[in-house]
């Protein structure tokens, strides 16, 4: 496995002026990071973010990609287009897209395939709702979600990043305990290992209300290889503290 990865997910936040302030503050406070760092920004800001981060250790990421190559798909953005803007990572299958945009496991697998074909690393999000956790189906849900991506991308599955994001923990301030997160990460690790001999290299991130106060304990778990950070990535001091905790 490579080192840890801390990826910010700005979601639908920001603006030209605010982005510049945020990125400059992060760069000003960033010591040489012990981990990989990325920010996944809204598509209109990819060019601005790329320019601001040029020569820095922070990679640019996107938040979604089309499952198609080109053509009559109004509003969609292809992996080739993202690649032109220097995108290194793209989030696929975030629960907000599964929930509000009807994304299916098969559709998420297609998106991951398009990203991989373009040389972009998909950050594949999986996670259960509170009802699913309470019904005892957490393991079955995350395994089903990941299985679709493995099925469609088995030949290059070692090139993906996985993010375990319990839906009930996203943006709620209610974080999974390190033990709860580790338990699911171990399940995902075993599933990846069964799919590929190279799976030891795959980073499995935790996402869901990770913040400066809880990052070190979460990141200290043996199968947690980094974080996908929403709200806390919008505050330079908090994002920097999480990066420092990823050793």
Q: Which residues contact ligand PEP (rule: CB under 6 A)? A: 9, 11, 165, 170-171, 207-210, 228-232
Q: Is 94 a catalytic residue?
A: yes
Rounded Cα gap, residues 12 and 120, in angstroms: 21
CB 102 within 8 A of CB 17: no
Query: Token pair for residue 143?
Result: 């395994």
Query: Token pair for residue 225?
Result: 């290889």
Nearest residue to 155 via CA among 101, 117, 205: 117
DSSP 202: -
Q: Which of 94, 96, 103, 159 is an active site residue?
A: 94
Q: Which of 128, 159, 165, 185 is an active site residue?
A: 165
Strand-pairing partners, residue 40, are 9, 61
Residue 74 CB, nearest distance to ligand PEP (Å)? 25
Residue 242 CB, nearest distance to ligand PEP (Å)? 10
* Nearest CB to ligand PEP, comparing residues 195 and 219: 219
Residue 31 CB, nearest distance to ligand PEP (Å)? 23
* Nearest CB to ligand PEP, comparing residues 14 and 208: 208
Residue 91 CB, nearest distance to ligand PEP (Å)? 7
Indicate the burial class of 218 (C-beta count within 10 angstroms; 0-12, 13-18, 19 or more).
buried
Within 10 angstroms of residue 15's Cβ, the number of other Cβ atoms is 11
**DSSP E strands: which ranges in 27-88?**
36-40, 58-62
Residue 112 CB, nearest distance to ligand PEP (Å)? 16
* Nearest CB to ligand PEP, comparing residues 196 and 238: 238
Q: Is 165 a catalytic residue?
A: yes
Rounded Cα gap, residues 153 and 113, in angstroms: 6
* Nearest CB to ligand PEP, comparing residues 6 and 79: 6
Query: Token pair for residue 223?
Result: 């199968």
Within 10 angstroms of residue 42's Cβ, the number of other Cβ atoms is 17
* Nearest CB to ligand PEP, comparing residues 61 and 231: 231
Rounded Cα gap, residues 76 and 40, in angstroms: 17
User: Among all residues, whose Cβ is closest to ligand PEP?
Assistant: 230
* Nearest CB to ligand PEP, comparing residues 119 and 171: 171
**Helices vs strands, H then E, count in the chain:** 10, 8
Residue 69 CB, nearest distance to ligand PEP (Å)? 27
Catalytic machinery residues:
94, 165
């Amino acid at each position: 496995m490579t080192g840890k990865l801390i990826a910010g997910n700005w979601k639908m936040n920001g603006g030209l002026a605010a982005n510049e302030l945020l990125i400059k503050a992060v760069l000003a406070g960033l010591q040489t990071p012990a981990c990989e760092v990325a920010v996944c920004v809204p598509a209109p800001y990819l060019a601005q973010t790329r320019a601001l981060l040029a020569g820095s250790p922070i990679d640019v990421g996107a938040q979604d990609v089309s499952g198609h190559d080109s053509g009559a798909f109004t509003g969609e953005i292809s992996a080739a287009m993202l690649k032109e803007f220097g995108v290194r990572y793209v989030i696929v299958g975030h629960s907000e897209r599964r929930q509000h945009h009807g994304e299916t496991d098969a559709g998420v697998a297609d998106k991951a395939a398009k990203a991989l074909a373009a040389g972009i690393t998909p950050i594949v999000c999986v996670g259960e709702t509170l009802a699913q956790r309470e019904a005892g189906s957490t393991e079955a849900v995350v395994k089903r979600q990941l299985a679709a991506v493995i099925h469609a991308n088995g030949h290059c599955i070692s090139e993906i990043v996985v993010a375990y994001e319990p839906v009930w923990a996203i943006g709620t301030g209610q974080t999974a305990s390190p033990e709860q997160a580790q338990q699911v990460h171990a399940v995902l690790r075993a599933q990846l290992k069964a799919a590929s001999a190279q799976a030891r290299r795959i980073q499995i991130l935790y996402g869901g209300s990770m913040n400066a106060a809880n990052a070190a304990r979460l990141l200290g778990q043996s199968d947690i290889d980094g974080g996908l950070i929403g709200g806390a990535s919008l505050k330079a001091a908090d994002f920097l503290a999480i990066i420092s905790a990823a050793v």
